[in-house]
Amino acid sequence: MTAPAQPVDLFDLVIFGGTGDLAVRKLLPALFHRFVDGQIQDGSRIVGVAREALDDDGYRQQVRATLNGAAQSKPDKLDAFLKMVHYRPLDARKDEGWDDFAKLMGECPSHVRVFYLSTSPDLFVDICQRLGHYGLNKGESRVVLEKPIGHDLASANRINDDVGAVFAESQTYRIDHYLGKETVQNLLALRFGNALFEPLWNAGHIDHVQITVAETLGVGRRGPYYDHAGALRDMVQNHMLQLLCMVAMEPPASLSPDAVRDEKLKVLHALKPIDEGNAAQLTVRGQYRAGAAEGQSVPGYIEDLNADSKSKVEKSNTETFVALKAEIGNWRWAGVPFYLRTGKRLAERVSEIVVAFKPVPHSIFTASAGPLAQNRLVLRLQPDEGVKLWLTIKHPGPGGLRLRHVPLDMSFVEAFGVQQPDAYERLLLDVVRGNPTLFMRRDEVEAAWRWADPILAAWAASGEAPRPYTSGTWGPSAAVALIERDGRTWDEDYE
Ligand code: NAP
């Protein structure tokens, strides 16, 4: 039996952008689930902030509509939760409304204060400056920054400098929700809680690593944002590099926030540069065309952009797919490729890390036993989180020795009989607890941009358009060639 989750201290959690997509789809349901589990005490407050002219009751109605599905079997809990919910209308860029908001904050001076900036990043500075003006950055006060943090190194530095003028680094939580996923935490437990893996976790025994983050959806209503970002900025620079760091980092001395983040930073510093000299060999960009997704015909990227924007876009050079081969220049990983690929409108929705071990040095089996496959450790982040270790065993029964490749399968839902909490549930409460281990430190964000910027510059200099791929496939054929040139294949063993 695991111990019940402990309640966190009383808090005021302010969601700037409280009516937006992220707040509605992720943050409010996450808080509700933690409340139902008894981790949020009565007396804590959740304050939505946006420009829309709502009062507390109007916002509560919106939140009720959002949570009705999740609260079906617990209507009394929903009523109790909604009592915690408040709303203040204000424009981050204008003075009106801030006095009233500051007054509300002043009612509970002993509460931990969390300001979650779930708005466009160009509002971060305005919001922080005003919070500073009202002294709301003092004491047990924290600010959470949503991605994207900048568009490149220079813009990330500007945001970090401006936010840093109000909130100390120790108060600043840069969220990457991939780090809150159960499987990612499990990577730490697997690597450092078992004697089995760590001796093999190096270039002597690992052949290569693959990280796939594949979506079946297109850009949807995020088109205008996405067209200025693209897959490298939207997925690789943050989520995928963070996953790579968790796989590749040295054992930290402890789980203290800086011990873990120091080790991740060393990995980012050790990434070999990809620039104009080698980007054409090591990277592939793609853009989806019309095709089929989940049995439905779907439009291409340009049509998706035009569905969302008033102006007619005829052409875009933005990539909706990236595959690349990264290498880490240190003793542990020398010569071990890390193949990363991510894209929209791909064949399946799946996020996985595959650690492929080297083949056995010599086979004692005859050809009739069948081929010997490599051991693979597969960490699935979505849709159903779990870990599989693929092993070779003997096919049961008489009939000669035939080999089979089977998984030791640990689906978390099956193993523990409960749906795993969403990453935001853990991360939001970690902010209240003041534990930044799973958040990105400023120097990590900068190091990630320092690696990504030359790739973006190389693509811009080449002037080449992204390669087209049909929706519902695994991206451009060049992405297959990228890995097959090395005698390897993408792991597509999804069920
Ligand atoms: P969204 O749906 O466009 O919501 C934006 C929110 O900000 C709305 O509540 C909006 O309400 C408010 N807002 C806009 N201008 C404002 C102003 N001047 N003053 C005060 N409030 C203002 O955006 P979102 O999808 O929730 O995304 C929010 C942030 O999270 C973005 O940085 C995004 O990149 C990031 N993010 C989102 C997701 C996701 O799944 N949605 C995932 C990862 C990261 P009013 O218009 O009423 O003011």
- pLDDT score of 109: 93
DSSP letters for 1-62 = -PPPPPPPPPEEEEEETTTSHHIIIIIHHHHHHHHHTT-S-BTBEEEEEESS---HHHHHHH
Residues written for the chain: 495
In the beta sheet, which residues pair with residue 475? none
Task: Give the contacts of 83 (CB within 8 A, at least 6 positions apart).
Answer: 42
HSE-CB of 378 using CA atoms within 13 angstroms:
28
What is the spatial distance between Cα 258 and Cα 425, in angstroms, rounded to a whole number?
22
What is the spatial distance between Cα 476 and Cα 411, in angstroms, rounded to a whole number?
31
Q: Is 176 annotated as a binding residue?
A: no
Whether pLDDT at 112 is above 60 = yes
- Which parts of 296-402 are beta strand (E)? 296-298, 321-326, 338-343, 350-357, 376-382, 386-394
The protein residue with its alpha carbon nearest to ligand 1, atom 30, reads: 118
- 3-class DSSP assignment, residue 338: strand
Q: Which atom of ligand 1 is nearest to the CA of 91?
A: 19
User: Ligand 1, from 21, 28, 49: best to mutate by most atoms within 8 Å of Cβ?
Assistant: 21
Average pLDDT value for the chain? 93
DSSP letters for 257-302 = HHHHHHHHHHHHHHBPP--TTTHHHHEEEEEEESEEETTEEE--HH
Q: How far is the CA of 62 from the centre of ligand 1 (A)?
A: 16
- pLDDT score of 415: 67
What is the spatial distance between Cα 85 and Cα 196, in angstroms, rounded to a whole number?
47
- pLDDT score of 26: 95
Is 92 close to ligand 1, i.e. is its CB under 6 Å away? yes
> Closest by alpha carbon to 27, among 345, 382, 432?
432
pLDDT tens per residue, range 386-439: 899 999 999 988 878 999 999 998 776 666 666 678 899 999 999 999 999 999
- pLDDT score of 364: 95
Whether pLDDT at 240 is above 60 = yes
The verdict on whether 133 is a catalytic residue reads no
Spot the catalytic one: 111, 151, 208, 239. Answer: 239
Q: How far is the CA of 50 from the centre of ligand 1 (A)?
A: 9
- pLDDT score of 228: 93
- pLDDT score of 384: 81
What is the spatial distance between Cα 36 and Cα 56, in angstroms, rounded to a whole number?
21
- Which parts of 119-240 are beta strand (E)? 141-145, 172-174, 206-214
Q: Is the model more confident about 220 or about 193?
A: 193
Is 68 close to ligand 1, i.e. is its CB under 6 Å away? no
What is the spatial distance between Cα 108 and Cα 144, in angstroms, rounded to a whole number?
20
Is 121 close to ligand 1, i.e. is its CB under 6 Å away? yes
List the Cα angle 254/255/258 in 5-degree steps: 90
Q: Is the model more confident about 287 or about 397?
A: 287
User: Left, alpha or beta for 102 (phi > 0: left; psi -120 to 50: alpha)?
Assistant: alpha
**Of 14-28, 56-70, 226-240, minimum mean pLDDT range:** 56-70
**Of 7-21, 372-386, 448-462, minimum mean pLDDT range:** 372-386
User: Ligand 1, from 118, 126, 174: best to mutate by most atoms within 8 Å of Cβ?
Assistant: 118
pLDDT tens per residue, range 442-451: 999 999 999 9
List the Cα angle 222/226/228 in 5-degree steps: 135
- pLDDT score of 96: 95
Q: 258 falls in which pLDDT band (50, 70, 90)?
A: very high
Is 91 close to ligand 1, i.e. is its CB under 6 Å away? yes
pLDDT tens per residue, range 38-96: 999 999 999 999 999 999 999 999 999 999 877 777 778 999 999 999 999 999 999 99
Is 20 close to ligand 1, i.e. is its CB under 6 Å away? yes
Is 21 close to ligand 1, i.e. is its CB under 6 Å away? yes
Give the percent of the chain with pLDDT over 90: 84
- pLDDT score of 494: 56
What is the spatial distance between Cα 213 and Cα 341, in angstroms, rounded to a whole number?
6
- pLDDT score of 411: 72
Q: How far is the CA of 23 from the centre of ligand 1 (A)?
A: 8
Q: How far is the CA of 182 from the centre of ligand 1 (A)?
A: 26
- pLDDT score of 137: 97
Whether pLDDT at 182 is above 90 = no
**Of 2-6, 211-215, 398-402, 471-475, minimum mean pLDDT range:** 2-6
